[in-house]
Structure 1
Amino acid sequence: MKKIILSCFGLGFMPIAPGTWGSLLPIGLFWVIHHFWPNIGVLLAVLAVLTTLSSISCVVLAGSAEKITNKKDPGWIVIDEVAGQSVALLPAAFAGENILLVCAAAFILFRIFDILKPWPIRNAEKLPGGFGILLDDILAGIYAAAVLTAILSFKTIL
């Protein structure tokens, strides 16, 4: 059961770019909910629940997976990407139009920050256990959300 949760129902076992696949889960869920129920409150609530549940799961379960595999942040653990991408999507709840483009921007920005790990993201991943696995992705999500907010705000000004 632990592997199912940490790998997001097997997405972490995709042969190429498992973190990218894990990041797509909240994007797809967000887009479907936005399509059928485009309500800011509902979208924010879904993202909050997704961030909270995936964060708790990561902190509680991922540390023991590291010990079993003898690997720091095993690649198949992608629940942390779900949490970080959910944070990156928060500004998208306010976008209204062009939601597919905004979701794509949130995805690309999150992946850039998650891969490049500018300060202090790289330092955060050095923390022990599930907290270290999670925190770098949460910070990458915050960076992505900040840039996305700036882009959306700039678009509004024009």
Structure 2
Amino acid sequence: MNAAQMIASAGGVGFAPRAPGTFGSLVGVLIGAVLLQMGHGPLLAGVIVSSVIGVWAVWAVGGQNDPGWIVIDEVAGQMLTMLALPRVSAAGLLIAFGLFRLFDIWKPGPVGIADQRHDAIGVMADDWAAGAIGFCFLAILAWLLPGRWL
């Protein structure tokens, strides 16, 4: 496995026999939780770095049609949703995971539009859109239900 394949598959997780996107999102939750422990700045940096290297890796492996084993897009999108979390908590991580997966699978509005683009940016963009929508919903939840549970 070369470097681009390693990055695109999130360390090989994308080669899981079932639900590789879900496992890719879980990688995003784990990395995101570690980064969020250090603050929102490191988490934002994680989103940016995974996005930039993700675009390169998808391009390098010729993954313009978004094969299932490419999951770096899920990692970036999942961490984008997590930027709305005020802190690391089990409930917050679970809700962020659920929201991102919902919008990534359902592909409403801009997520579906981005999914129609067949290039490296398009592979990443539908997950950025799902992550952004998840971020908005999670931010509203955090505002409506303040407290230590989230």
Superposition TM-score, scaled by structure 2 size: 0.88
Q: Which residue of 2 aligns with 1:30?
A: 32
Measure, in 1, the Cα distance between the counterparts of 2:32 and 2:55.
23
The structure with the larger Rg is 1
Q: Is the 8 A contact 2:5 2:57 kept in 1?
A: no
Equivalent residue letter for 2:52: I
Measure, in 1, the Cα distance between the counterparts of 2:87 and 2:9.
30
Query: What does 1:54-69 correspond to in 2, within 5 Å?
Result: 54-66=50-62
What's the RMSD between the two structures over aligned residues? Answer: 1.9
> 1:55 Cα shift?
0.8
Q: Which residue of 1 aligns with 2:133?
A: 143
> 1:121 Cα shift?
0.8
Query: Is 1:114 matched with 2:116?
Result: no
Secondary structure of the corresponding residue to residue 108 of structure 1: helix
Q: Which residue of 1 aligns with 2:121?
A: 131
> 1:72 Cα shift?
0.8
My pick for the range that moved more, 53-62 or 4-13, is: 53-62
Query: Is 1:5 matched with 2:7?
Result: yes
Equivalent residue letter for 2:76: A
Secondary structure of the corresponding residue to residue 49 of structure 1: helix
Q: Is the 8 A contact 1:66 1:73 kept in 2?
A: no
Measure, in 2, the Cα distance between the counterparts of 1:23 and 1:91.
16
Q: Which residue of 2 aligns with 1:15?
A: 17
Note the residue ranges of structure 1 that are not aligned, 5 or more in a row: none
Q: Is the 8 A contact 1:95 1:152 kept in 2?
A: no
Q: Is the 8 A contact 1:64 1:129 kept in 2?
A: no
Superposition TM-score, scaled by structure 1 size: 0.84
Note the residue ranges of structure 2 that are not aligned, 5 or more in a row: none
Query: Is 1:43 matched with 2:39?
Result: yes
My pick for the range that moved more, 106-115 or 24-33, is: 24-33
Q: Structure 2 residue aligned with 1:79, among 72, 85, 91?
A: 72
Runs of 4+ more than 2 Å apart: 29-34, 63-67
Equivalent residue letter for 2:20: P
Q: Is the 8 A contact 1:122 1:136 kept in 2?
A: yes
> 1:156 Cα shift?
2.3
